Amino acid sequence: MPLWKLGPLLAEHGLAMEIMGDIDRQTVSGAISTGTHGSGLRFGGLATQVRGLRLVLADGSVADCSADERPELFRAARVGIGALGVLTEVTLQCVPRFALHARDTAMPVDETLGRLDELVEGNDHFEFFWFPHSTTTLTRRFHRLPGDAPLQPIGELSRRLDETVSNLGFEALCRLGTKVPSLVPPIARLAARAMSTREWTDLSAKVFASPREVRFHEGEFAIPRENAVEALREIERWIRTHDERVSFPLEVRFAAADDIWLSTAQGRESCYIAFHQYHRMPYRRYFQACEDILGSYGGRPHWGKMHSLGAEDLRPRYPHFDDFVDLRDALDPTGLFANPYLDRVLGPAPEATPVGDDSAARPA
């Protein structure tokens, strides 16, 4: 089931997910397995809402796990990146249906960064977007309200106009910037000025997620919350001194610490910094710079987004990395669930057939 179907279904039963990310196109199993998260210092990622899992393991057996039943498997499989088995059932801890009062406000970058602790701690959910070539951020603040609170949703006409400007209009500007790269900085400043101040109230599932129609490449790293301002300043400084043309904003979010072995927020309050580039523009140099800068703060890459790190890079960033790999090796020693990505980030399974070795397929 995709998240965009789950939200309305829960609402019909007077329920909601405690928190959601800003995109709802993923399936439930995919979202929790890759560490999908929203923003809010008092809330963990989606996987922290899981209370039970059922997996089909590599040997064909079915395993149930929870905090009380096979707890080691539960600590690993909530963010299992597809390496431990096939998730067939997920038990989620829901909460009573609630509304969100949302407020989008444009603020100078210096003010946002200078007041960051106040903004993060003073709102139920806080995030912001920053076009690197501009001096303006779009801040988003959500406050939780009871499920029976009066709703003031965005009007249909306003919503369609906003989506047209945000998607078709932005797509046209990005295409122009691709053809004339020197226009990217002024286009970014124009997009930053166009970010409007508005307020609305709606059910949580309709506020957390937003449509994203313009294609882009994306990477995201989680760093300790206390390093957020310094890291953002360093990224902005690199873009400026290397004359990099970046058409998409940085997206900055926050989450509580958790105890899930491969969660990007394991053991620490985290700031998530996502970097994007329009899909028709060069991105590798910029992404490598962001990866290097955020890696210097112990950054952990989002499992469902772009990065170039391998097992040896990731091992020191996760206290339970070897625990996870040991469990993977025990459950799937031949690498039934392996693929090139998992081989890179975890290392190959101990009894896996090496790539290029087809001896297992040849008759004796």
The model's pLDDT over 269-322, given as tens digits with 9 standing for 90+, comes to 999 999 999 999 999 999 999 999 999 999 999 999 999 999 999 999 999 999
Digit-coded pLDDT (tens) for 177-218: 999 999 999 888 888 877 778 899 999 999 999 888 889 999
d(C-alpha 7, C-alpha 5), whole Å: 6
Sequence letter at residue 177: G
Check if the beta carbon of residue 31 is closer than 8 Å to that of residue 46: yes
Residue 163: predicted pLDDT = 64
**Domain count of the fold of the chain:** 2
Same domain, 91 and 227: no
- On whether residue 320 sits in a domain, the answer given is no
Task: Decide which of 56, 76, 96 is a domain's last residue.
Answer: 96
Task: Decide which of 50, 75, 96 is a domain's last residue.
Answer: 96
Residue 357: predicted pLDDT = 44
Residue 147: predicted pLDDT = 93
Same domain, 146 and 78: no
Question: What's 260's DSSP letter?
Answer: -
Same domain, 155 and 287: yes
Pairing of strands 86-92, 50-56: antiparallel
183: helix, strand or coil: helix
- On whether residue 8 sits in a domain, the answer given is yes
Question: What's 339's DSSP letter?
Answer: -
Sequence letter at residue 7: G
Report pTM.
Answer: 0.93
Read off the CATH number of the domain in which 79 is found.
Answer: 3.30.465.10
Sequence letter at residue 114: G
- On whether residue 343 sits in a domain, the answer given is no
Q: Is the pLDDT of residue 80 over 50?
A: yes
Same domain, 157 and 233: yes
- On whether residue 364 sits in a domain, the answer given is no
Same domain, 305 and 160: yes
C-alpha Rg value of the chain to the nearest Å: 21
Same domain, 255 and 230: yes
Sequence letter at residue 218: E
- On whether residue 352 sits in a domain, the answer given is no
Sequence letter at residue 75: R
Check if the beta carbon of residue 82 is closer than 8 Å to that of residue 337: yes
Residue 159: predicted pLDDT = 66
- On whether residue 31 sits in a domain, the answer given is yes
In the block, tokens 């975890």 appear at 346
Task: Decide which of 269, 288, 311 is a domain's last residue.
Answer: 311
User: What is the domain extent for residue 271?
Assistant: 98-311
Other Cβ atoms within 10 Å of 28 Cβ, number: 19
Same domain, 85 and 126: no
Same domain, 223 and 106: yes
269: helix, strand or coil: coil
Read off the CATH number of the domain in which 253 is found.
Answer: 3.40.462.10
- On whether residue 251 sits in a domain, the answer given is yes
Residue 158: predicted pLDDT = 66
Same domain, 86 and 15: yes
d(C-alpha 223, C-alpha 38), whole Å: 15
- On whether residue 335 sits in a domain, the answer given is no
Check if the beta carbon of residue 199 is closer than 8 Å to that of residue 103: yes
Backbone angles phi, psi at 334, to 5 degrees: -90, 0
d(C-alpha 3, C-alpha 23), whole Å: 9
Same domain, 239 and 302: yes
Same domain, 73 and 136: no
Q: C-alpha 240: how far from its chain's center?
A: 26
Digit-coded pLDDT (tens) for 104-114: 999 999 999 99
CA dihedral 168, 171, 173, 174 (to 10 degrees): 170
Same domain, 232 and 87: no
In the block, tokens 């899930």 appear at 260
SS3 content of the chain, % helix, strand, coil (to 5): 40, 25, 40
d(C-alpha 60, C-alpha 81), whole Å: 19
